[in-house]
Structure 1
Amino acid sequence: MTTARRPEHQVGQHQAAQHQAAQHRTERDRTDQDHRAGLSRRQLLGASAALGGAAWLLRGTVGPDDAEASTPVPPGLPAGTELYQRVYQNWSGEIRTDQLWTCAPRTPEEVPTLADWAHANGWRLRAQGRRHGWSPLTVAAGTPEAARVLLLDTGRHLTAIAADSPGTVRVQTGATMEDLLAHLATRGLGLTAVPAPGELTVGGVLAVGGHGTAVPAAGETRPDGHGYGSLSNQVTRLTAVVHDPATGRYTLRTFDRAEADSAAFLVHLGRAFVTEVVLRAGADRPLRCVSRLDIPASELFARPGAAGRPRTFADFVERDGRAEAIWFAYTDYPWLKTWSVTPNRPFAARTVAEPYNYPFSDSIPEPVARLAGELVAGTWGSAPLFGQLQYLIAKVALTGDITDVLLSGGLLRDLLSGELLTHLLADGLRSDLWGPSRTLLQYVRPTTLRVTANGYAVLARRADLQWVVSEFTAHYRQLLAEYQARGEFPVNGAVEIRVTGLDDPAWCGVPGARPPLLSALRPRPDRPEWDTAVWLDVLSLPGTPGLHRFCRDLEQYLLRTFDGTRAGLRVEWSKGWAYTADAAWADPDVLGRVIPAGHREGGGPGWDEAVAVLDRHDPYRVFGNAFLDGLLSG
Structure 2
Amino acid sequence: MADDPSDQDGALSRRRLLASSAAAGGAVWLLRGLVRPGSAHAAPGAPPGLPAGLDVYQRAYENWAGEIRTDELWTCAPRTPQEVLDVVNWAYGAGWTVRAQGRRHGWAPLTVADGTPAATRVILLDTTAYLTAMTVDGQAADGSATVRVQTGASLESLLAFAGAGGYGVTAAPAPGDLSVGGALAVGAHGTAVPAVGETPSPGHGYGSLSNLVTELTAVVWDGGAGRYVLRTVGRAEPDCDALLTHLGRSLVTEAVLRVGADVNLRCRSYLDVPAAELFAAPGAPAGTRTLAGFVDGTGRAEAIWFAFTDKPWLKTWAVTPDRPLAARAVSGPYNYPFSDSLPEPVARLAGDLVSGAWASAPLFGQVQYLLAKVALTGDITDVLLSGTLVQDVLTGDVLTHLLLDGLRSDLWGASRNLLEYVRPTTLRETANGYAVLVRRADLQWVVSRFADFYRTLLAQYAARSEYPVNGQVEIRVTGLEDPSVCGVPGARPPLLSALRPRPDRPDVDTAVWIDILSLPATPALPRFYRDVEQFLLGLDGERATVRVEWSKGWAYTDTAAWSDQDVLTGAIPDSHRAGGGPGWDEAVAVLGRLDPHHVLSSPFLDALLS
TM-score (norm 2): 0.96
Match of 2:521 in 1: 543
Counterpart CA distance in 1 for 2:413 and 2:309 is: 31
1:427-452 Cα deviation digits (max 9, x unpaired)? 00000000000000000000000000
Aligned length: 593
Match of 1:579 in 2: 556
Aligned ranges 1:42-121 → 2 under 5 Å: 47-50=19-22, 55-56=28-29, 58-121=31-94
Counterpart CA distance in 2 for 1:77 and 1:356 is: 41
Asked if 1:614 corresponds to 2:587, the answer is no
CA contact (8 A) 1:459 1:534 kept: yes
CA contact (8 A) 1:128 1:152 kept: yes
The residue identity in structure 1 corresponding to 2:183 is V
Give the counterpart of 1:138 among 111, 116, 139.
111
The residue identity in structure 2 corresponding to 1:64 is P
Q: CA deviation at 1:65?
A: 1.4
**Shift in CA distance, 71/330, structure 1 to aligned 2, threshold 3 Å:** farther
The residue identity in structure 1 corresponding to 2:238 is A
Counterpart CA distance in 2 for 1:586 and 1:615 is: 23
Asked if 1:598 corresponds to 2:570, the answer is no
Asked if 1:297 corresponds to 2:275, the answer is yes
**Shift in CA distance, 333/71, structure 1 to aligned 2, threshold 3 Å:** farther
Counterpart CA distance in 1 for 2:26 and 2:82 is: 33
Q: CA deviation at 1:278?
A: 0.3
The residue identity in structure 1 corresponding to 2:519 is L
Q: CA deviation at 1:60?
A: 2.5
1:370 match: secondary structure: helix
Asked if 1:124 corresponds to 2:124, the answer is no
Give the counterpart of 1:492 among 470, 476, 501.
470
The residue identity in structure 2 corresponding to 1:516 is P
1:553-612 Cα deviation digits (max 9, x unpaired)? 1100111114x2111100000000000000000000000111011111111100111011
Match of 2:376 in 1: 398
Q: CA deviation at 1:70?
A: 3.2
Asked if 1:429 corresponds to 2:407, the answer is yes
Q: CA deviation at 1:378?
A: 0.5
Counterpart CA distance in 1 for 2:436 and 2:328 is: 34
Aligned ranges 1:363-382 → 2 under 5 Å: 363-382=341-360
Counterpart CA distance in 2 for 1:43 and 1:579 is: 22
Give the counterpart of 1:502 among 440, 459, 480.
480
Q: CA deviation at 1:52?
A: 7.1
Q: CA deviation at 1:377?
A: 0.6
**Shift in CA distance, 549/49, structure 1 to aligned 2, threshold 3 Å:** farther
Give the counterpart of 1:162 among 116, 120, 135.
135
**Shift in CA distance, 556/249, structure 1 to aligned 2, threshold 3 Å:** same
Match of 1:197 in 2: 175
1:181 match: secondary structure: helix
1:519-539 Cα deviation digits (max 9, x unpaired)? 000000011110000000000
1:478-537 Cα deviation digits (max 9, x unpaired)? 000000000000000000000000001011100000000000000000111100000000
1:11-58 Cα deviation digits (max 9, x unpaired)? xxxxxxxxxx9xx9xxxxxxxxxxxxxxxxx99765125567775354
Q: CA deviation at 1:62?
A: 1.1
What is the aligned-residue identity percentage? 70
Q: CA deviation at 1:260?
A: 2.1
Aligned ranges 1:2-81 → 2 under 5 Å: 47-50=19-22, 55-56=28-29, 58-81=31-54
1:54-96 Cα deviation digits (max 9, x unpaired)? 7535422111111111353111101111101111000000000
Counterpart CA distance in 1 for 2:195 and 2:286 is: 24
Match of 2:6 in 1: none
Match of 1:589 in 2: 566
The residue identity in structure 2 corresponding to 1:579 is Y
The residue identity in structure 1 corresponding to 2:379 is D
The residue identity in structure 2 corresponding to 1:573 is W
**Shift in CA distance, 613/46, structure 1 to aligned 2, threshold 3 Å:** closer
Give the counterpart of 1:153 among 111, 119, 126.
126
Counterpart CA distance in 2 for 1:319 and 1:181 is: 26
1:379-399 Cα deviation digits (max 9, x unpaired)? 100000000000000000000
CA contact (8 A) 2:26 2:341 kept: no
**Shift in CA distance, 347/54, structure 1 to aligned 2, threshold 3 Å:** closer
Counterpart CA distance in 1 for 2:390 and 2:513 is: 32
Counterpart CA distance in 1 for 2:237 and 2:278 is: 44
Give the counterpart of 1:238 among 199, 216, 224.
216
Counterpart CA distance in 1 for 2:361 and 2:99 is: 37
Counterpart CA distance in 2 for 1:180 and 1:44 is: 35
Aligned ranges 1:296-335 → 2 under 5 Å: 296-307=274-285, 309-335=287-313
Counterpart CA distance in 2 for 1:279 and 1:43 is: 40
Counterpart CA distance in 2 for 1:52 and 1:594 is: 39
**Shift in CA distance, 190/393, structure 1 to aligned 2, threshold 3 Å:** same
Counterpart CA distance in 1 for 2:268 and 2:318 is: 9
CA contact (8 A) 1:349 1:432 kept: yes
CA contact (8 A) 1:260 1:514 kept: no
Structure 1 residue ranges without an equivalent (≥5): 1-20, 25-41
1:282 match: secondary structure: strand
Q: CA deviation at 1:305?
A: 0.7
Counterpart CA distance in 1 for 2:44 and 2:534 is: 43
Asked if 1:251 corresponds to 2:229, the answer is yes
Counterpart CA distance in 2 for 1:446 and 1:412 is: 27
Match of 1:35 in 2: none
Match of 1:444 in 2: 422
Counterpart CA distance in 1 for 2:43 and 2:568 is: 34
Counterpart CA distance in 1 for 2:26 and 2:196 is: 40
Counterpart CA distance in 1 for 2:269 and 2:161 is: 28
Tell me how large the CA RMSD over aligned residues is: 1.5
Counterpart CA distance in 2 for 1:375 and 1:358 is: 23
**Shift in CA distance, 270/399, structure 1 to aligned 2, threshold 3 Å:** same
Match of 2:603 in 1: 626
Counterpart CA distance in 2 for 1:291 and 1:98 is: 43
Q: CA deviation at 1:128?
A: 0.3
Aligned ranges 1:406-421 → 2 under 5 Å: 406-421=384-399
1:56 match: secondary structure: coil
Answer with 78-87 or 531-540: which moved more.
78-87
CA contact (8 A) 1:47 1:372 kept: yes
Match of 2:3 in 1: none
The residue identity in structure 2 corresponding to 1:404 is D
Asked if 1:173 corresponds to 2:151, the answer is yes
Counterpart CA distance in 1 for 2:360 and 2:43 is: 41
Counterpart CA distance in 2 for 1:52 and 1:509 is: 44
Counterpart CA distance in 1 for 2:416 and 2:15 is: 37
Q: CA deviation at 1:414?
A: 1.4
1:561 match: secondary structure: coil
The residue identity in structure 1 corresponding to 2:84 is V
